[in-house]
Structure formats: structure tokens, C-alpha cells
Structure 1
Amino acid sequence: MTAYQPPTALPGELLEQQKMRAAIAAHDFGVVFSLAREVAKISYSKIAAECDIKPERVGALARGRGSITSFDKIAKISDALRIPGDLLGLAPREWEVANPPPRAPAGQTENAIVNREGTGTVLRREFFKASAGAGLVVGLPDLAQAGCGRRVGSKVPVQLRQRAARLRRLDDVLGGGDTFRVYLGEYQATKTMLRDGSYTEATGHALLSVLSEQAQQAGWAAFDAGKHADASSLYEDSRQAAVESGDASLAGNALAFLAYQRVDADHTAGTETAIQACHVAGPDAAPGVRALLNERLAWTYAISGNAGETERALDAAEAALSEGNKNPQPDWAAWVDRNELQVMTGRCWTELRRPLRAVPVLEDVLARYDNTHARDKSLYLSWLADSYLAAGEVEQAAAVTGRALELSAGVASVRPRARLAPILRQLRDHYDVPAVADVPERAKP
């Protein structure tokens, strides 16, 4: 006997079409609705009624106007059109339970893939790109099913936080274009758990804290991939979840992320948000957290051209790191060390057009920076090239720009190319210099 299909269910053959699958994976519901009407003959009014969307909005989406990013609305569309959760980056839906998705092959755990060496970087990347498209949940299969009215035990938030820490390591070698769907899927699965599961008050607060952390991961990947509206929405979700959970450090970090995103468009708003981030986290936050927030505050001051406040914020970050580990250090801030502070110091002096201070700092730290962190190193090299240009050292700027271009090739991040674009434009005035002549060719995709 065939399972009941609602009147809006998309036929299997339509779900298999490449164009439909691509649209679903990208959450491009305008294309989804358009194909549903053209191929499956499902009217926009029926889609609107079943998906709880205004008919005029369905039509606007089908014409390419607007987008849907709300988790609840995406889940509603999944259920109404019977789109499997894995295609949308969701945990399996209740109506799918009778036909669960296949598990990863025995032995192919998350850690086994993440810890490969040599050609493992390629294998890692291909695996997680495939995972992102399919919405796979690997390594902790039972956690994805913990919602749907099930009891969520106190160990689950701990396991989810450990999982988030492991997945965070992907950001060391992959860009947001590769990791966004993975991180978003984790966030959405936890949100489903919070909505549909049952748990104690303490476990609920712990889950909200994890949700805040996951939202920051997904927001950072969205920002890195150039999805700025998604990033802003996720940062705001993170802040709200952190406040509800009582996690002041995460709430401060959510604001710091927002400040980092806002400062380019509005210097004043970005700086004010960064100041608020430090206040919200408070003086009792772990040293690494305070160092991170003061670094981002220094950055907003540098973008605003305020050298004095920039130096004070950098000094505050240094003082925090000098305290040692008196308080437990959250994993999401564990990457903040003196090398990172040195990089930020060089970046700030570059933005303040002080190349004599920026160049020695950046040269020193980047000489120790591993090329496997290709996205970050290419970004940091762009600031070194920028400072060389400000100092009139065109040949050195060209050489560093060439290295940055080589490292950024194939990285799924929009930021290295965006950073290098104005430097390449400045180098156009020096094409008569032999060291500069071949840089434009290396910049071609």
C-alpha cells in the first residue's frame, strides 16, 4: 500500500531533476514553486495554502523576488511538498521515519575523515561538499533523531558541543562555501530538537547555548561565502539564544560578529556594537574570549581611523592573553593566541595607513603561518601587500599578491578575492615594472 501523499506533494521524478535538486539545495523556493506548477501542475494558490504563505508572496518568489530563510517556514515547505529533509539540510522529517536515510559506511566516521593526512584534504573537502548537499548527519546519528517528542537527556548538549568543536576544525582548511550547509544543518537539527523534544530546564538552557554556538558557526560560514543576509540573521538568532541560555560570553561574541560585519558599511554602528559586545561578555569572561572581543573592537576602531583607541583595545587583548587560563576556555575561542593577536595588530596598522608598524609584524607572523590554512593566509597576505603598496614598495607588494592569489585558488570563500581586488587595481599603474607584469595573469580564475 502506498503511503498517503498530500495534494501538494512533489512527484519523485520531479525531485530527481537536477534543476529541482539544485534549487532545493540552495533554498531557492521561487524555482521550486515554479517547477511545481509547470511540471506537477500544483497551483500557486494550493502551494500558498499548504505552505502557509500568502499567495502574492508565492508569486513574487516564483518571479525571483525575495527569499525564505526562516527555519520554521523551510520546515513547513518541506512537510507540505514532501521534500526530504536531507535535501534541505534538515534532520529527517516525521513522515520520513519509515524510510530513514542510509548511514555512513562502517568505519567512515567523522573523525576518520577529518584526521586524514596528505591527500586527505581533498577527500575531506569532497566528502563535506557532498554531505552539505545531502544534509548528512555523520558520527552521532541518534542525536539527529532526539527531537520529535523524544526525551532529551543531559548528555546530549555535551555531545553536540563536542561535535561542534570537531566540525569547527573544518574552518581551518575549507571556506564558507564548503561548510555553510554543514553548519546550517547542525543548527537546524538542534533547533528542531528544542522545538519538538522534551527536557529539563537545565538541559534546555544547555541546548540553547549549543544552538547559539552553532548559529555563530553557520553565520561565519555564510559571511565567508558572501551570504551576508543569512549571516546577519544567524548572528541575531545566536545572540537571542545566548541571552535566553544565560551565556554572556556567547551573547558578546554574537554582537562582535555583527560588529565585524557592520563596520564596513557604518563605522559608528560597528564600533558601538563592538563596545557593547565587550560589556555584555563582562570582565569575568575567559581570557581568550576577552582577547577576541577586544581584537574585534580594535578592528572597528582601525576601520574608523581611530589609532589611539585601536592601540588601547589591542593592549587590552594582550593583557587578557597574559592572564593565562584561570577560567575554562570555550573551544570557539581557543584559536585566539598571540599569533592571532599579531595578525590583527598588523591588519589594524595597515588599515590605519601605518606601514612601518604593520609590515614587520605581518612579515614575522606570516613566516610561521602554515600554508594549509590557505584562506586565512591569503587574506593576511593581502594586508601585507597593502602595506607594501602604502610604503611605495611595489615589487614586494606584487610578490606577496602573487602568493596570496596562489593560496586563494580553489578556496570556497569570497573574501580573499574581494580583499585582493583593490590591490590589483593599484598595481595596474605599475605594469611597466617586471615584477608586476605577470600578476594580472595569475589573478585570472
Structure 2
Amino acid sequence: MRTAIRAHDFGTVFRLARSEAGISYSKIAAECDIKPERVGLLARGHGSVTTFEKVARIADALRIPGAMLGLARREWEEPSAPHRALPRHLHPITTEGGGNEVRRREFFKSSAGAGLAVGLPELSRPKVGRRVGSDFPERLRERTTRLRRLDDVLGGGDTYRVYLGEYQATKALIRDATYSEGTYKSLLSVLSEQAQQAGWAAFDSGRHSDATGLYEASRTTAIEAEDTALAGNALAFLAYQAVSGDRQAGIETAARSCATAGPDAAPGVRALLQERLAWAYAVAGLAGETERALAAAESALAEIDDAPQPDWVAWVDRNELSIMTGRCWTELRRPLRAVPALETALAEYDDAHARDKSLYMSWLADSYLAAGEIEQAAAVTSRALDLSAGVASVRPRERLAPVLRRLGGHRALPEVAEALDKAQA
């Protein structure tokens, strides 16, 4: 039991609780606020529990000491030494899930060594009392900016609960604190930005319904905050999800995202939204519309000078536009256009960005296949597999799957056999 607890193997914890202590799954479900069928699935080895709120709930329900789970001492534990209460202005912010920021931070740090959660950078959420001053939203946005850098090197499986916790904490603050009308609008803008970051991590880790819900919440919040750029970006995220199913809906939503942000949006914002529109057109097979949207994105990038841009578009530059151009031409089955754009851009792409680089290499491999360059496609696929190994994102393997299936018809080639064996391993 101790081994299972320290590994956060709650399926084994539940199974032992029933077999050795006679606690029924229905009782565990009721006390831990988990559906009975999910308790049964976990006990049979299917799935895992990773969110801070749920782990804390299980700890309290089963009276598991916090230290065993990487949590702070639970309220029901006897203190080992007298302690003084914190002043009210230093009380941690309670999230909707019932956890708090201090416990959450300790959970992430202590869990990181076991590969259960990503260790947060040494960042503290800005302290705030019941009354929120006008400078607080900007300090909170700066923290959001720093935490966004985790996405440069980690997949959504590692970052989702971090970003979701930030979103929930800000949401609770808005609910419980007092502030001026102007500060309220600024807090809503930060909340919308945080919802988009959490939604992106959910999408990247395969939690598509969670992503949709967060994008929709972000859009509603951005509208209330009168932040048209963020409202437009929320629609762009929704369009990016939609194109894999309803292509026409994806195009319409992407076009609405550009219209919502409007012509007065920052150049970086317009470039990003036009890129997403180009992608929607490309997936639908509309070459002329794709080319026009890419040209619009390039024109917007040319307008960027020293004027400030939102941090959430900081990654959109000429190299990123080259990658999107190559991706679009790959979808349109134009390898002679796709390969040079992707090769040039990827040559400048650092391997530290393993998830994104492996993803983009999947489109390069796809284009090589379309051009009949089987060995080159296999070599690029092999490299993409190396990069994506251990990345907590479902997307690289999802993208590489059809490439690997097509390579399967050429197994007689040594380069292909090596790539296929690597994928199998």
C-alpha cells in the first residue's frame, strides 16, 4: 500500500482497500467524489489520477498523510510542533477544487521527481488581500507569461494541471475579492488568457472536450472583458479543433476569429489568426484561399516594429510562418513547395522544442512521401520519433501514424524497416 501511495497508483490503493480492509468501491467512490465505474476501472489498471484537487480529496477521504503523496500536511493531521497562524493577507488562494496554491506548489515540486507532475519554476503567485489593486492584474499576467514558457519544452500532459490550476485560482479570486470596474475587466482578460493556455495543454494531451470547454469559457470571458484580440484567438483555437471534423465549420470559425479581432488588432495577432485561417483552407483543399491567407499573415508580420505585442503571439515570426506555409502545402499535396519551406525553417529549430519539431517533421516526411522520396521520408520519420520519445503530447504520434502506415508498404528498404521498428519499440 505504501509503495502504491508513493507512486500515485490509486488503482492499486483502491484494490487493496477493498481486498484487505473491506472498503467497497461504492464507498470509496462516494468519499473520494469519483464515479463508481471509474473507481472500478482504476482498480483494474485503466487510467490514472493526476489532478491536485482529486489527489487531495483521496488523501483526505482515506486519511493518507500528505507527505506520502507530495502534499502539505493535511488539516486533520496532528501538527508535529506548535505553529502560528498566517496573517490573513498571506492566506493562500483557495481554488474551486478545494485545494490551495501553497499545497499545489508543494505537490508539483515533490511529484516531479517521480515523473508525476512537472516541477514549477521558482515562481510565487502574487500575494493579494480581499481588495485587489489596479496593479495586480498586470503582475498576474506577468506570471502567466513566465509559466507559458513551460510550453516551449513540455507537452500538455505535463503542463495541463499547472495551467488549469492557475485558471481556477484566478477564477476564485475574481469571485471572492473586491476591486474596481477597471480592475475587474483586466482580471477577466487575464482569466481569458489563462483559459486559452489551459485549453491548449488539454488539446495537446488529448483532452479534447476539456479543451473545447476552456476555449468557449475563454471567449465568453474575453467578450465580457472587451478584449477583442483574445476573443478572436479563442475562436481560432476552436477552428483549429474543428477542421479535423467539419472542415466548413472550421473555415467559418477561423474567418470569424479574424473578423472578431478586427483590422486594428496588433500585427502579431492578425498574423496568427490569418495563419490559422490558412490552415483551415488548406485542410479543406482550397489552394487559392490558402495562399491569400498566408500572404495576409506575411503582410501583418511585416508591420511589426517596436510596438508592443501580446506575449501569447510572441512565437509567431517568419520562421513560424515558413513552417505553417510548409504544412499547408503538404496538406494541399504540393511537395515541391512544402519541402523547401519546412527544411529551411526546421534547420533553425532547436531540438529543445522537441514536441513542436517532431510535429513539424511529420509534415516534412509526409511531403517526401508524396514526392516519392521514400528513404528520405523514413529518415525524417525516424528523427521525429527520436524527438517525440518521452514528450507528454499525443499529437506527434497521431501525426506520424498515417506516415508510418504509408511507409509500411516499403519495409524492404533498410531505412524504412529501421523507422518502423523504432516506432514499434
**TM-score normalised to structure 2 length:** 0.79
Aligned 8 A contact 1:103 1:138 in 2: no
Inter-CA distance 47–328: structure 2 relative to 1 (3 Å threshold): same
3-state SS, counterpart of residue 283 of structure 1: coil
Aligned 8 A contact 1:180 1:222 in 2: yes
| Percent identity between the two aligned chains | 58
Answering whether residue 313 of structure 2 is matched by residue 333 of structure 1, we say: yes
Separation in structure 2 between the aligned mates of residue 23 and residue 91 of structure 1, nearest angstrom: 28
Q: CA deviation at 1:412?
A: 1.1
Deviations 1:374-400 (A, max 9, x none): 111111111011001001111111111
Deviations 1:37-85 (A, max 9, x none): 996969969987x99x9xxx955665669x9xxx9x9899799969989
Answering whether residue 407 of structure 2 is matched by residue 431 of structure 1, we say: no
Separation in structure 1 between the aligned mates of residue 401 and residue 289 of structure 2, nearest angstrom: 29
| Map of 1:290 onto structure 2 | 270
Separation in structure 2 between the aligned mates of residue 17 and residue 208 of structure 1, nearest angstrom: 43
Answering whether residue 186 of structure 2 is matched by residue 206 of structure 1, we say: yes
3-state SS, counterpart of residue 379 of structure 1: helix
Aligned 8 A contact 1:132 1:181 in 2: no
Root mean square deviation of aligned Cα? 4.0
Answering whether residue 138 of structure 2 is matched by residue 166 of structure 1, we say: no
Q: After the TM superposition, which residues 77-156 of structure 1 pair with which residues of structure 2 at under 5 Å, given as runs?
A: 91-92=93-94, 101=103, 129=112, 139=122, 141=124, 143=126, 146=128, 150-156=130-136
Deviates more, 1:322-331 or 1:244-253: 322-331
Aligned 8 A contact 1:267 1:304 in 2: yes
| Map of 2:252 onto structure 1 | 272
| Map of 2:170 onto structure 1 | 190
Inter-CA distance 392–141: structure 2 relative to 1 (3 Å threshold): closer
Inter-CA distance 373–155: structure 2 relative to 1 (3 Å threshold): same
Q: CA deviation at 1:140?
A: 5.1
Give the one of 156, 163, 170 matched to 1:176.
Answer: 156
Q: CA deviation at 1:87?
A: 6.4
**TM-score normalised to structure 1 length:** 0.76
Aligned 8 A contact 2:93 2:173 in 1: no
Deviations 1:349-372 (A, max 9, x none): 000001111111111111111111
Q: What residue identity is the alignment partner of 1:347?
A: R
> How many residues in Structure 1 have an aligned counterpart in Structure 2?
392
Inter-CA distance 100–210: structure 2 relative to 1 (3 Å threshold): closer
| Map of 2:402 onto structure 1 | 422
Aligned 8 A contact 2:25 2:36 in 1: no
Inter-CA distance 18–168: structure 2 relative to 1 (3 Å threshold): same
| Map of 1:246 onto structure 2 | 226
3-state SS, counterpart of residue 393 of structure 2: coil
Q: What residue identity is the alignment partner of 1:408?
A: S
Aligned 8 A contact 2:355 2:396 in 1: yes
Deviates more, 1:131-140 or 1:390-399: 131-140
Aligned 8 A contact 1:129 1:179 in 2: no
Inter-CA distance 95–79: structure 2 relative to 1 (3 Å threshold): farther
3-state SS, counterpart of residue 353 of structure 1: coil
Deviations 1:312-346 (A, max 9, x none): 11011001011123752000001100000000000
| Map of 2:372 onto structure 1 | 392
Give the one of 299, 313, 316 matched to 2:293.
Answer: 313
Inter-CA distance 426–86: structure 2 relative to 1 (3 Å threshold): same
Q: What residue identity is the alignment partner of 2:270?
A: R
Separation in structure 2 between the aligned mates of residue 103 and residue 429 of structure 1, nearest angstrom: 49
Inter-CA distance 198–165: structure 2 relative to 1 (3 Å threshold): same
Give the one of 362, 379, 382 matched to 2:359.
Answer: 379
Separation in structure 2 between the aligned mates of residue 203 and residue 379 of structure 1, nearest angstrom: 39
Answering whether residue 304 of structure 2 is matched by residue 324 of structure 1, we say: yes
